[in-house]
Chains A and B, each alone.
Chain A
Amino acid sequence: MTAGSRYRLRHVARMEWTKLRTVRSSWWLAVSSVLAMAGAGAGVGAGYRSHTPVATAAQLIDNSLAGAVLAQLFLGALGVLAVTGEYSSGTVRSTFAAIPHRGLVLAAKAGTVGLVSFTVGELAAVAGFLAGQAAIAGSPVPRASLADPAVLRPVLLTGAYLGLLGLLGTGVGAVVRHTGGAVGALFGVVFVPMFLAAVLGPAGIAVLKFVPLIILVNSVAVVTPVPGTLSAWAGIAVLCLYATVALGLGWRLLVGRDA
Protein backbone atom coordinates (compact mmCIF):
# COMPACT_ATOMS: atom_id res chain seq x y z
CA MET A 1 0.00 0.00 0.00
CA THR A 2 1.16 3.49 -0.79
CA ALA A 3 1.72 5.88 2.07
CA GLY A 4 -0.62 8.83 2.42
CA SER A 5 -4.02 9.40 3.85
CA ARG A 6 -5.98 9.99 0.68
CA TYR A 7 -5.80 9.54 -3.09
CA ARG A 8 -3.96 12.34 -4.85
CA LEU A 9 -3.44 13.46 -8.41
CA ARG A 10 -0.42 11.16 -8.72
CA HIS A 11 -2.55 8.09 -8.01
CA VAL A 12 -5.18 9.16 -10.50
CA ALA A 13 -2.52 9.99 -13.10
CA ARG A 14 -1.02 6.50 -12.68
CA MET A 15 -4.49 5.02 -13.15
CA GLU A 16 -5.14 7.06 -16.29
CA TRP A 17 -1.72 6.29 -17.74
CA THR A 18 -2.35 2.57 -17.21
CA LYS A 19 -5.71 2.85 -18.95
CA LEU A 20 -4.30 4.81 -21.88
CA ARG A 21 -1.44 2.45 -22.58
CA THR A 22 -3.45 -0.75 -22.23
CA VAL A 23 -5.82 -0.22 -25.17
CA ARG A 24 -4.54 -0.85 -28.67
CA SER A 25 -6.28 2.15 -30.22
CA SER A 26 -3.87 4.46 -28.35
CA TRP A 27 -0.89 2.76 -29.96
CA TRP A 28 -2.45 2.65 -33.41
CA LEU A 29 -3.32 6.33 -33.29
CA ALA A 30 0.14 7.31 -32.04
CA VAL A 31 1.96 5.21 -34.62
CA SER A 32 -0.40 6.42 -37.38
CA SER A 33 0.35 10.03 -36.49
CA VAL A 34 4.09 9.52 -36.89
CA LEU A 35 3.65 7.47 -40.07
CA ALA A 36 1.29 10.04 -41.61
CA MET A 37 3.83 12.81 -41.13
CA ALA A 38 6.86 10.74 -42.14
CA GLY A 39 5.00 9.49 -45.20
CA ALA A 40 3.87 12.96 -46.25
CA GLY A 41 7.40 14.32 -45.70
CA ALA A 42 9.00 11.58 -47.79
CA GLY A 43 6.39 11.93 -50.54
CA VAL A 44 6.77 15.69 -50.75
CA GLY A 45 10.57 15.43 -50.78
CA ALA A 46 10.46 12.83 -53.55
CA GLY A 47 8.16 15.08 -55.57
CA TYR A 48 10.54 18.04 -55.26
CA ARG A 49 13.64 16.12 -56.41
CA SER A 50 12.94 16.70 -60.08
CA HIS A 51 10.70 19.74 -59.69
CA THR A 52 11.36 22.83 -61.79
CA PRO A 53 11.97 25.48 -60.77
CA VAL A 54 14.03 24.08 -57.93
CA ALA A 55 12.13 24.39 -54.64
CA THR A 56 13.35 26.64 -51.86
CA ALA A 57 14.25 25.22 -48.47
CA ALA A 58 11.13 26.90 -47.04
CA GLN A 59 8.82 25.36 -49.66
CA LEU A 60 10.14 21.91 -48.87
CA ILE A 61 9.76 22.39 -45.10
CA ASP A 62 6.25 23.84 -45.35
CA ASN A 63 5.04 20.98 -47.48
CA SER A 64 6.86 18.21 -45.67
CA LEU A 65 4.87 19.15 -42.54
CA ALA A 66 1.58 18.69 -44.42
CA GLY A 67 1.01 15.29 -42.81
CA ALA A 68 -0.05 17.20 -39.69
CA VAL A 69 -3.44 17.74 -41.35
CA LEU A 70 -4.04 14.01 -40.94
CA ALA A 71 -2.02 13.50 -37.73
CA GLN A 72 -4.13 16.15 -35.92
CA LEU A 73 -7.18 13.96 -36.42
CA PHE A 74 -5.42 10.86 -35.06
CA LEU A 75 -4.23 12.64 -31.93
CA GLY A 76 -7.55 14.41 -31.53
CA ALA A 77 -9.23 11.01 -31.69
CA LEU A 78 -6.76 9.72 -29.07
CA GLY A 79 -8.00 12.42 -26.70
CA VAL A 80 -11.65 11.79 -27.54
CA LEU A 81 -11.35 8.03 -26.98
CA ALA A 82 -9.64 8.47 -23.61
CA VAL A 83 -12.99 9.81 -22.39
CA THR A 84 -15.68 8.33 -24.65
CA GLY A 85 -14.17 4.84 -24.54
CA GLU A 86 -15.06 4.83 -20.85
CA TYR A 87 -18.63 5.90 -21.45
CA SER A 88 -19.28 3.41 -24.26
CA SER A 89 -17.92 0.51 -22.21
CA GLY A 90 -19.31 1.57 -18.83
CA THR A 91 -15.80 1.73 -17.33
CA VAL A 92 -16.51 5.31 -16.33
CA ARG A 93 -18.61 4.08 -13.40
CA SER A 94 -15.68 2.00 -12.10
CA THR A 95 -13.47 5.04 -12.55
CA PHE A 96 -15.76 7.42 -10.65
CA ALA A 97 -16.42 4.82 -7.95
CA ALA A 98 -12.64 4.57 -7.46
CA ILE A 99 -12.11 8.34 -7.71
CA PRO A 100 -15.30 10.26 -6.83
CA HIS A 101 -13.46 13.55 -7.38
CA ARG A 102 -14.31 13.88 -11.07
CA GLY A 103 -12.32 17.04 -11.64
CA LEU A 104 -9.22 15.12 -10.59
CA VAL A 105 -10.07 12.36 -13.08
CA LEU A 106 -10.37 14.86 -15.93
CA ALA A 107 -7.17 16.62 -14.87
CA ALA A 108 -5.32 13.29 -14.83
CA LYS A 109 -6.76 12.32 -18.20
CA ALA A 110 -5.81 15.65 -19.76
CA GLY A 111 -2.35 15.38 -18.20
CA THR A 112 -1.63 11.90 -19.53
CA VAL A 113 -3.23 12.45 -22.94
CA GLY A 114 -1.47 15.81 -23.23
CA LEU A 115 1.91 14.34 -22.37
CA VAL A 116 1.45 11.55 -24.90
CA SER A 117 0.06 13.74 -27.66
CA PHE A 118 2.80 16.37 -27.21
CA THR A 119 5.52 13.71 -27.26
CA VAL A 120 4.02 11.90 -30.24
CA GLY A 121 3.27 15.22 -31.96
CA GLU A 122 6.88 16.36 -31.67
CA LEU A 123 8.15 12.98 -32.83
CA ALA A 124 5.78 13.10 -35.80
CA ALA A 125 6.76 16.65 -36.76
CA VAL A 126 10.48 15.86 -36.58
CA ALA A 127 9.84 12.66 -38.55
CA GLY A 128 8.01 14.65 -41.25
CA PHE A 129 10.84 17.14 -41.50
CA LEU A 130 13.62 14.52 -41.53
CA ALA A 131 11.76 12.35 -44.07
CA GLY A 132 11.47 15.36 -46.37
CA GLN A 133 15.17 16.12 -45.98
CA ALA A 134 16.19 12.52 -46.54
CA ALA A 135 14.08 12.32 -49.71
CA ILE A 136 15.91 15.24 -51.39
CA ALA A 137 19.39 13.87 -50.68
CA GLY A 138 21.56 14.33 -53.78
CA SER A 139 19.04 16.63 -55.49
CA PRO A 140 19.52 20.37 -56.12
CA VAL A 141 16.94 21.32 -53.45
CA PRO A 142 18.74 23.16 -50.61
CA ARG A 143 18.97 21.29 -47.32
CA ALA A 144 17.80 22.74 -44.05
CA SER A 145 18.88 22.06 -40.47
CA LEU A 146 16.98 21.97 -37.18
CA ALA A 147 19.89 23.96 -35.76
CA ASP A 148 18.48 26.94 -37.69
CA PRO A 149 15.88 28.64 -35.40
CA ALA A 150 13.76 29.59 -38.43
CA VAL A 151 13.50 25.87 -39.26
CA LEU A 152 13.20 24.60 -35.71
CA ARG A 153 10.26 26.90 -34.92
CA PRO A 154 7.72 25.49 -37.46
CA VAL A 155 8.77 21.92 -36.67
CA LEU A 156 8.46 22.24 -32.89
CA LEU A 157 5.27 24.30 -33.01
CA THR A 158 3.66 21.79 -35.37
CA GLY A 159 4.34 19.17 -32.71
CA ALA A 160 2.87 21.47 -30.07
CA TYR A 161 -0.23 22.05 -32.23
CA LEU A 162 -0.68 18.27 -32.46
CA GLY A 163 -0.32 18.00 -28.68
CA LEU A 164 -3.03 20.63 -28.21
CA LEU A 165 -5.36 18.70 -30.52
CA GLY A 166 -5.05 15.78 -28.08
CA LEU A 167 -6.19 18.08 -25.27
CA LEU A 168 -8.96 19.58 -27.40
CA GLY A 169 -10.12 16.04 -28.14
CA THR A 170 -10.17 15.19 -24.42
CA GLY A 171 -12.31 18.24 -23.71
CA VAL A 172 -14.70 17.56 -26.58
CA GLY A 173 -14.95 13.93 -25.46
CA ALA A 174 -15.94 15.03 -21.95
CA VAL A 175 -18.59 17.37 -23.35
CA VAL A 176 -20.13 14.99 -25.90
CA ARG A 177 -19.41 11.57 -24.23
CA HIS A 178 -20.30 9.51 -27.34
CA THR A 179 -17.39 8.48 -29.55
CA GLY A 180 -19.09 9.14 -32.87
CA GLY A 181 -20.57 12.44 -31.81
CA ALA A 182 -17.32 13.63 -30.23
CA VAL A 183 -15.14 12.68 -33.20
CA GLY A 184 -17.68 14.39 -35.46
CA ALA A 185 -17.69 17.51 -33.29
CA LEU A 186 -13.89 17.60 -33.27
CA PHE A 187 -13.69 17.28 -37.05
CA GLY A 188 -16.35 19.96 -37.26
CA VAL A 189 -14.33 22.36 -35.13
CA VAL A 190 -11.20 21.66 -37.15
CA PHE A 191 -12.63 21.62 -40.67
CA VAL A 192 -16.19 22.84 -41.10
CA PRO A 193 -15.62 26.58 -40.63
CA MET A 194 -13.67 26.27 -43.90
CA PHE A 195 -17.00 26.37 -45.68
CA LEU A 196 -17.41 29.88 -44.36
CA ALA A 197 -14.67 30.82 -46.80
CA ALA A 198 -17.08 30.38 -49.69
CA VAL A 199 -19.75 32.44 -47.95
CA LEU A 200 -17.55 35.23 -46.67
CA GLY A 201 -15.36 35.65 -49.73
CA PRO A 202 -11.96 37.40 -49.53
CA ALA A 203 -12.93 39.25 -46.34
CA GLY A 204 -13.37 35.86 -44.65
CA ILE A 205 -9.72 35.57 -43.68
CA ALA A 206 -10.39 37.90 -40.74
CA VAL A 207 -12.54 35.12 -39.29
CA LEU A 208 -10.94 32.08 -40.85
CA LYS A 209 -7.52 32.83 -39.41
CA PHE A 210 -8.93 31.58 -36.08
CA VAL A 211 -9.95 28.18 -37.49
CA PRO A 212 -7.61 25.39 -36.27
CA LEU A 213 -6.87 24.02 -39.75
CA ILE A 214 -6.03 27.51 -41.06
CA ILE A 215 -3.85 28.11 -38.02
CA LEU A 216 -2.00 24.88 -38.75
CA VAL A 217 -1.36 25.27 -42.47
CA ASN A 218 -0.96 29.05 -42.66
CA SER A 219 0.53 30.07 -39.32
CA VAL A 220 2.17 27.18 -37.48
CA ALA A 221 3.52 24.60 -39.95
CA VAL A 222 5.18 27.17 -42.20
CA VAL A 223 8.51 28.94 -42.13
CA THR A 224 6.79 32.28 -42.86
CA PRO A 225 3.11 32.69 -41.91
CA VAL A 226 0.81 33.65 -44.76
CA PRO A 227 0.09 37.44 -44.75
CA GLY A 228 -3.17 38.28 -43.02
CA THR A 229 -3.11 35.17 -40.79
CA LEU A 230 -1.93 34.85 -37.20
CA SER A 231 1.70 34.56 -36.24
CA ALA A 232 2.81 31.07 -35.27
CA TRP A 233 2.86 31.82 -31.55
CA ALA A 234 -0.49 33.62 -31.69
CA GLY A 235 -1.91 30.59 -33.48
CA ILE A 236 -0.66 28.29 -30.73
CA ALA A 237 -2.09 30.65 -28.11
CA VAL A 238 -5.51 30.51 -29.80
CA LEU A 239 -5.36 26.70 -29.84
CA CYS A 240 -4.49 26.75 -26.11
CA LEU A 241 -7.59 28.85 -25.57
CA TYR A 242 -9.78 26.39 -27.49
CA ALA A 243 -8.40 23.42 -25.54
CA THR A 244 -8.90 25.27 -22.25
CA VAL A 245 -12.50 26.16 -23.11
CA ALA A 246 -13.30 22.58 -24.18
CA LEU A 247 -11.74 21.11 -21.02
CA GLY A 248 -13.44 23.70 -18.83
CA LEU A 249 -16.83 22.98 -20.34
CA GLY A 250 -16.15 19.24 -20.12
CA TRP A 251 -15.26 19.65 -16.44
CA ARG A 252 -18.46 21.59 -15.71
CA LEU A 253 -20.59 18.91 -17.35
CA LEU A 254 -18.66 15.96 -15.90
CA VAL A 255 -19.07 17.22 -12.35
CA GLY A 256 -22.76 18.03 -12.73
CA ARG A 257 -24.08 15.11 -14.73
CA ASP A 258 -25.08 11.63 -13.61
CA ALA A 259 -22.48 9.07 -14.66
Chain B
Amino acid sequence: MIEVRGLVKRYGATLAVDRLSFDVRPGTVTGFLGPNGSGKSSTMRLILGLDAPDAGSVRIGGRRYRELAWPLREVGAVLEARAFHPGRSARAHLVALAAGNGIGRSRVDEVLDAVGLTGVAGRRVGRFSLGMAQRLGIAAALLGNPGVLLLDEPVNGLDPEGVRWIRGLLRSLGAQGRVVFVSSHLISELALTADHVVVIGKGRLLADTSVAELAARSASLEDAFLRLTAAGSDAGAWTA
Protein backbone atom coordinates (compact mmCIF):
# COMPACT_ATOMS: atom_id res chain seq x y z
CA MET B 1 0.00 0.00 0.00
CA ILE B 2 1.10 3.55 -0.77
CA GLU B 3 0.14 6.13 1.85
CA VAL B 4 0.41 9.77 0.82
CA ARG B 5 -0.06 12.19 3.71
CA GLY B 6 -0.25 15.98 3.56
CA LEU B 7 2.17 16.23 0.66
CA VAL B 8 3.24 19.74 -0.35
CA LYS B 9 5.72 20.61 -3.09
CA ARG B 10 6.68 24.00 -4.47
CA TYR B 11 8.86 24.60 -7.51
CA GLY B 12 9.86 28.23 -7.20
CA ALA B 13 6.63 30.24 -7.06
CA THR B 14 4.51 27.35 -8.33
CA LEU B 15 2.62 25.24 -5.83
CA ALA B 16 2.66 21.89 -7.66
CA VAL B 17 1.29 19.67 -4.90
CA ASP B 18 -1.01 21.10 -2.27
CA ARG B 19 -1.71 19.12 0.94
CA LEU B 20 -2.36 15.91 -0.93
CA SER B 21 -3.42 12.80 0.99
CA PHE B 22 -4.64 9.46 -0.36
CA ASP B 23 -3.98 5.72 -0.23
CA VAL B 24 -3.32 3.34 -3.10
CA ARG B 25 -4.39 -0.22 -2.28
CA PRO B 26 -3.21 -3.57 -3.59
CA GLY B 27 -5.16 -5.97 -5.77
CA THR B 28 -6.66 -3.34 -8.01
CA VAL B 29 -5.65 -0.76 -10.60
CA THR B 30 -5.86 2.78 -9.26
CA GLY B 31 -6.03 5.58 -11.80
CA PHE B 32 -4.39 8.93 -11.08
CA LEU B 33 -6.33 11.47 -12.99
CA GLY B 34 -5.93 15.17 -13.62
CA PRO B 35 -5.44 17.68 -16.41
CA ASN B 36 -1.94 18.32 -17.74
CA GLY B 37 0.03 20.28 -15.18
CA SER B 38 -2.17 19.24 -12.27
CA GLY B 39 0.74 17.74 -10.32
CA LYS B 40 0.53 14.05 -11.22
CA SER B 41 4.15 13.69 -12.31
CA SER B 42 5.36 15.75 -9.35
CA THR B 43 3.44 13.44 -7.00
CA MET B 44 4.99 10.39 -8.68
CA ARG B 45 8.49 11.87 -8.23
CA LEU B 46 7.74 12.60 -4.57
CA ILE B 47 6.54 9.01 -4.04
CA LEU B 48 9.84 7.75 -5.48
CA GLY B 49 11.92 10.13 -3.36
CA LEU B 50 13.36 11.79 -6.47
CA ASP B 51 12.13 15.18 -5.31
CA ALA B 52 11.97 16.20 -1.67
CA PRO B 53 8.56 17.37 -0.38
CA ASP B 54 8.25 20.69 1.42
CA ALA B 55 5.83 19.03 3.82
CA GLY B 56 4.10 15.71 4.29
CA SER B 57 5.29 12.18 3.72
CA VAL B 58 4.88 9.07 1.62
CA ARG B 59 5.06 5.51 2.96
CA ILE B 60 5.29 2.40 0.85
CA GLY B 61 4.42 -0.71 2.80
CA GLY B 62 4.92 1.40 5.92
CA ARG B 63 8.40 2.66 5.01
CA ARG B 64 9.88 5.70 3.31
CA TYR B 65 11.23 5.06 -0.18
CA ARG B 66 14.82 5.64 0.87
CA GLU B 67 14.50 2.99 3.58
CA LEU B 68 13.66 0.22 1.09
CA ALA B 69 16.29 -2.53 1.17
CA TRP B 70 16.07 -3.40 -2.55
CA PRO B 71 13.94 -0.64 -4.09
CA LEU B 72 13.46 -2.27 -7.50
CA ARG B 73 12.23 -5.46 -5.89
CA GLU B 74 9.55 -3.50 -4.08
CA VAL B 75 8.61 -0.64 -6.43
CA GLY B 76 8.74 -0.50 -10.22
CA ALA B 77 8.18 2.83 -11.95
CA VAL B 78 7.85 4.22 -15.46
CA LEU B 79 8.16 7.99 -15.30
CA GLU B 80 9.17 9.22 -18.75
CA ALA B 81 9.01 7.38 -22.02
CA ARG B 82 12.65 8.05 -22.84
CA ALA B 83 14.70 8.03 -19.68
CA PHE B 84 17.51 5.99 -21.22
CA HIS B 85 20.99 6.84 -22.45
CA PRO B 86 20.54 6.80 -26.24
CA GLY B 87 23.90 5.11 -26.80
CA ARG B 88 23.28 2.16 -24.51
CA SER B 89 21.50 -1.02 -25.55
CA ALA B 90 18.21 -2.05 -23.97
CA ARG B 91 19.85 -5.09 -22.41
CA ALA B 92 22.76 -3.07 -20.98
CA HIS B 93 20.31 -0.62 -19.39
CA LEU B 94 18.48 -3.47 -17.67
CA VAL B 95 21.65 -5.35 -16.72
CA ALA B 96 22.98 -2.21 -14.97
CA LEU B 97 19.77 -1.72 -12.97
CA ALA B 98 19.61 -5.42 -12.12
CA ALA B 99 23.21 -5.34 -10.84
CA GLY B 100 22.37 -2.42 -8.54
CA ASN B 101 19.61 -4.37 -6.84
CA GLY B 102 21.18 -7.82 -6.82
CA ILE B 103 18.81 -9.16 -9.47
CA GLY B 104 20.05 -12.06 -11.61
CA ARG B 105 20.82 -11.81 -15.32
CA SER B 106 18.20 -14.41 -16.19
CA ARG B 107 15.54 -12.00 -14.97
CA VAL B 108 16.73 -9.45 -17.56
CA ASP B 109 16.01 -11.93 -20.34
CA GLU B 110 12.64 -12.75 -18.78
CA VAL B 111 11.44 -9.15 -18.74
CA LEU B 112 12.80 -8.46 -22.23
CA ASP B 113 10.76 -11.42 -23.39
CA ALA B 114 7.70 -10.31 -21.42
CA VAL B 115 7.62 -6.92 -23.17
CA GLY B 116 8.56 -8.33 -26.57
CA LEU B 117 11.98 -6.67 -26.93
CA THR B 118 14.17 -9.79 -27.03
CA GLY B 119 14.86 -9.36 -30.73
CA VAL B 120 16.11 -5.77 -30.37
CA ALA B 121 17.71 -6.06 -26.92
CA GLY B 122 21.20 -5.43 -28.32
CA ARG B 123 20.20 -2.35 -30.28
CA ARG B 124 21.02 1.16 -29.07
CA VAL B 125 18.02 2.71 -27.38
CA GLY B 126 18.40 5.98 -29.29
CA ARG B 127 17.05 4.19 -32.37
CA PHE B 128 13.96 2.90 -30.55
CA SER B 129 10.48 4.09 -31.48
CA LEU B 130 8.42 5.66 -28.72
CA GLY B 131 6.47 2.42 -28.35
CA MET B 132 9.66 0.39 -27.94
CA ALA B 133 10.96 2.90 -25.40
CA GLN B 134 7.72 2.58 -23.41
CA ARG B 135 8.12 -1.20 -23.45
CA LEU B 136 11.69 -0.88 -22.21
CA GLY B 137 10.49 1.38 -19.39
CA ILE B 138 7.94 -1.26 -18.41
CA ALA B 139 10.59 -3.98 -18.58
CA ALA B 140 12.71 -1.95 -16.15
CA ALA B 141 9.71 -1.52 -13.84
CA LEU B 142 9.04 -5.28 -13.85
CA LEU B 143 12.72 -6.19 -13.36
CA GLY B 144 12.53 -6.79 -9.62
CA ASN B 145 9.06 -8.37 -9.78
CA PRO B 146 7.84 -5.62 -7.43
CA GLY B 147 4.60 -5.55 -5.48
CA VAL B 148 4.08 -1.86 -6.27
CA LEU B 149 3.99 -0.37 -9.78
CA LEU B 150 3.81 3.31 -10.69
CA LEU B 151 3.25 4.31 -14.29
CA ASP B 152 3.10 7.92 -15.47
CA GLU B 153 1.02 8.24 -18.67
CA PRO B 154 2.09 4.84 -19.99
CA VAL B 155 -0.07 4.87 -23.12
CA ASN B 156 1.20 8.24 -24.38
CA GLY B 157 2.40 7.88 -27.94
CA LEU B 158 1.57 4.21 -28.23
CA ASP B 159 -0.13 2.68 -31.24
CA PRO B 160 -3.52 0.98 -30.68
CA GLU B 161 -1.93 -2.44 -30.35
CA GLY B 162 0.48 -1.10 -27.69
CA VAL B 163 -2.37 0.60 -25.83
CA ARG B 164 -4.30 -2.65 -25.71
CA TRP B 165 -1.21 -4.54 -24.54
CA ILE B 166 -0.68 -2.08 -21.65
CA ARG B 167 -4.32 -2.32 -20.59
CA GLY B 168 -4.11 -6.09 -20.40
CA LEU B 169 -0.80 -5.95 -18.56
CA LEU B 170 -2.07 -3.48 -15.95
CA ARG B 171 -5.20 -5.50 -15.29
CA SER B 172 -3.24 -8.71 -14.87
CA LEU B 173 -0.74 -7.00 -12.52
CA GLY B 174 -3.62 -5.72 -10.41
CA ALA B 175 -5.29 -9.12 -10.41
CA GLN B 176 -2.05 -10.63 -9.10
CA GLY B 177 -2.58 -8.60 -5.93
CA ARG B 178 -0.09 -5.81 -6.64
CA VAL B 179 -0.48 -2.10 -6.04
CA VAL B 180 -0.89 -0.57 -9.51
CA PHE B 181 -0.99 3.23 -9.74
CA VAL B 182 -1.39 4.66 -13.25
CA SER B 183 -1.65 8.31 -14.18
CA SER B 184 -3.46 9.70 -17.19
CA HIS B 185 -5.09 12.92 -18.30
CA LEU B 186 -7.70 10.87 -20.17
CA ILE B 187 -10.55 9.46 -18.12
CA SER B 188 -11.74 7.38 -21.05
CA GLU B 189 -8.44 5.51 -21.00
CA LEU B 190 -8.44 4.93 -17.26
CA ALA B 191 -12.06 3.81 -17.29
CA LEU B 192 -10.94 0.77 -19.28
CA THR B 193 -8.38 -0.40 -16.72
CA ALA B 194 -8.89 1.24 -13.36
CA ASP B 195 -11.40 0.33 -10.66
CA HIS B 196 -10.52 3.22 -8.43
CA VAL B 197 -9.50 6.80 -9.22
CA VAL B 198 -7.66 9.56 -7.43
CA VAL B 199 -8.48 12.86 -9.16
CA ILE B 200 -6.35 15.97 -8.65
CA GLY B 201 -6.40 19.52 -10.00
CA LYS B 202 -3.87 22.26 -9.28
CA GLY B 203 -2.10 19.86 -6.94
CA ARG B 204 -5.16 19.31 -4.74
CA LEU B 205 -7.26 16.23 -4.19
CA LEU B 206 -10.61 16.52 -5.99
CA ALA B 207 -11.91 12.98 -5.64
CA ASP B 208 -10.81 9.62 -4.27
CA THR B 209 -13.49 7.18 -5.29
CA SER B 210 -14.42 4.15 -7.38
CA VAL B 211 -14.83 4.53 -11.12
CA ALA B 212 -18.42 3.27 -10.81
CA GLU B 213 -19.26 5.86 -8.18
CA LEU B 214 -17.69 8.65 -10.24
CA ALA B 215 -19.68 7.59 -13.31
CA ALA B 216 -22.91 7.60 -11.33
CA ARG B 217 -22.50 11.30 -10.50
CA SER B 218 -22.94 12.55 -14.07
CA ALA B 219 -24.27 11.60 -17.46
CA SER B 220 -20.85 10.21 -18.32
CA LEU B 221 -17.46 9.69 -16.73
CA GLU B 222 -16.08 12.41 -18.94
CA ASP B 223 -18.69 14.88 -17.70
CA ALA B 224 -17.91 13.94 -14.13
CA PHE B 225 -14.19 14.45 -14.68
CA LEU B 226 -14.58 17.76 -16.49
CA ARG B 227 -16.96 19.09 -13.85
CA LEU B 228 -14.55 18.11 -11.11
CA THR B 229 -11.50 19.65 -12.72
CA ALA B 230 -13.34 22.79 -13.88
CA ALA B 231 -14.45 23.39 -10.33
CA GLY B 232 -10.80 22.75 -9.53
CA SER B 233 -9.42 24.09 -6.35
CA ASP B 234 -12.37 26.42 -5.75
CA ALA B 235 -14.47 23.50 -4.62
CA GLY B 236 -13.65 21.52 -1.53
CA ALA B 237 -12.22 18.06 -1.85
CA TRP B 238 -14.78 15.47 -2.81
CA THR B 239 -13.91 12.13 -1.35
CA ALA B 240 -15.64 8.86 -0.83
Interface, chain A (partner B; CB < 8 A): 1-2, 4-7, 11-12, 14-16, 18-19, 22-25, 85-86, 89-91, 93-101, 256, 258-259
Contact = CB atoms under 8 A, between A and B. Distances in A.
B75 interface: yes
A258 B87 contact: no
Interface string B43-80: 00100111110000000000001101111100101011
A22 B96 contact: yes
B84 A89 contact: yes
A23 B87 contact: yes
B157 to A, nearest CB: 15
B235 interface: no
Contacts of A6: 69-70
Contacts of A25: 87
Given A23-B88, A91-B85, A93-B83, A98 B50 contact: no
Contact of A96 (B50, B92, B140): B50
B104 A93 contact: no
Most chain B CB within 10 A, of A5, A16, A22, A96, is at A22
Given A1-B104, A2-B102, A99-B71, A94 B83 contact: yes
B71 to A, nearest CB: 6
Given A24-B87, A91-B83, A99-B71, 18 more contacts: A1-B102, A2-B102, A6-B70, A7-B69, A7-B102, A14-B99, A15-B100, A16-B96, A18-B92, A22-B92, A93-B80, A93-B83, A94-B84, A97-B48, A97-B71, A100-B68, A101-B66, A259-B50
B115 interface: no
Given A14-B99, A18-B96, A22-B96, A97 B72 contact: yes
Contact of B70 (A7, A15, A94): A7
A253 to B, nearest CB: 13
Contacts, number: 106
A94 B86 CA distance: 14
Interface of B is mostly: loop
Given A97-B50, A97-B75, A98-B101, A22 B89 contact: yes
Interface of B: 45, 48-52, 65-66, 68-72, 75, 77, 79-80, 82-89, 92-93, 95-97, 99-104, 140
A1 B87 CA distance: 28
B52 A11 contact: no
A19 B72 contact: no
Given A7-B100, A90-B83, A98 B71 contact: yes
Nearest to B86: A89
Nearest to B83: A90
Given A93-B79, A93-B80, A85 B85 contact: yes
A228 B131 CA distance: 62
7 interchain residue pairs of minimum CB distance: A2-B102, A15-B100, A90-B83, A22-B92, A18-B96, A258-B51, A14-B99
A94 B140 contact: yes
Given A11-B102, A90-B84, A259 B51 contact: yes
Contacts of B52: 256, 258
A19 B100 CA distance: 11
18 contacts: A2-B104, A7-B101, A11-B99, A18-B92, A18-B95, A19-B85, A22-B96, A89-B83, A91-B84, A91-B85, A93-B48, A93-B80, A97-B49, A98-B100, A100-B71, A101-B66, A258-B51, A259-B45
